[in-house]
């Protein structure tokens, strides 16, 4: 994976005009990958390539309408909906081998990780990938086509204690909402760490959940619930 990333960085310096080249390379690597953990890493890397292109050219992409029955081999022709659907699909696939990722130490992957000083907060590969994915879902995908049944965070359980939050089933007709996906991924991460001997990772993700819900919800009596949650 490290060799692949280095090769792609060199290719980008030689030819940065066609983003499809790196995407094709990653798609091929994902298809050929035999190891589920390595495949998850590659899927996250590919999703990040799509997201980077969307961020760089969003001013142009957001003006496009969604097309149907159109062969979309060139991402330069994609709409914002196309990008969001592809990115969320890749992220969903990346977290499928959940137990295996949770049992995978970061040590064998130190060659491709920019190390910080928070080992206890990101103890496994699952934590690292899930947090990267969570950063995407925490964005309210304001640029995609909105359904009539738009999901909004209204339930007070979103700002409740850990046990109440984890046992609440957040439902929505808008199942593709990034806000809903973020809430569910917060639950998965917190559930993974709820019985840790060292509570550092749980406290970290819980504080992130409280702050994010406070900023993105329309819950009645939100300020009082926020103070209580803190």
Mean of pLDDT values over 88-95: 96
| pLDDT in the model for residue 114 | 86
Model confidence over 34-80: pLDDT tens digits?
999 999 999 999 999 999 888 887 666 656 555 555 556 778 888 88
Enumerate residues 6+ apart whose C-beta is below 8 A from 227: none
pTM of the model: 0.89
90 sits in which H/E element = helix 80-94
β-sheet bridge partners, residue 57? none
Pair of tokens at residue 213: 């819900």
Model confidence over 123-141: pLDDT tens digits?
999 999 999 999 999 987 6
> Taking a C-beta distance cutoff of 8 angstroms, is the pair 156, 224 a contact?
no
d(CA 121, CA 207): 12
Mean of pLDDT values over 162-173: 92
172 sits in which H/E element = none
Model confidence over 14-25: pLDDT tens digits?
776 677 888 889
pLDDT band, residue 146 (cuts 50/70/90): low
Q: Give the sign of the dihedral formed by CA 29, CA 80, CA 216, CA 147.
A: negative
């Amino acid at each position: 994976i490290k060799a692949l990333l280095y090769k792609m960085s060199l290719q980008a310096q030689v030819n940065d005009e066609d983003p499809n080249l790196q995407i094709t390379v990653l798609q091929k690597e994902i298809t050929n990958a035999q190891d589920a953990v390595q495949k998850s890493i590659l899927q996250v890397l590919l999703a990040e390539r799509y997201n980077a292109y969307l961020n760089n050219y969003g001013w142009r992409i957001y003006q496009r309408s969604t097309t149907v029955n159109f062969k979309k081999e060139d991402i330069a022709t994609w709409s914002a909906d196309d990008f969001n659907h592809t990115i969320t699909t890749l992220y969903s696939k990346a977290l499928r081998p959940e137990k295996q990722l949770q049992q995978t130490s970061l040590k064998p992957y130190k060659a491709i990780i920019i190390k910080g000083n928070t080992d206890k907060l990101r103890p496994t590969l699952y934590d690292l990938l899930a947090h990267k994915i969570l950063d995407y879902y925490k964005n309210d995908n304001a640029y995609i086509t909105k359904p009539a049944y738009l999901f909004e965070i209204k339930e007070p359980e979103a700002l409740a204690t850990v046990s109440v939050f984890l046992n609440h089933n957040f439902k929505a007709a808008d199942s593709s909402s990034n806000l809903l996906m973020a809430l569910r991924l917060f639950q998965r991460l917190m559930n993974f760490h709820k019985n840790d001997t060292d509570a550092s990772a749980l406290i970290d993700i819980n504080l992130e959940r409280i702050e994010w819900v406070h900023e993105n919800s329309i819950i009645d009596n939100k300020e009082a619930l926020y103070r209580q949650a803190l």
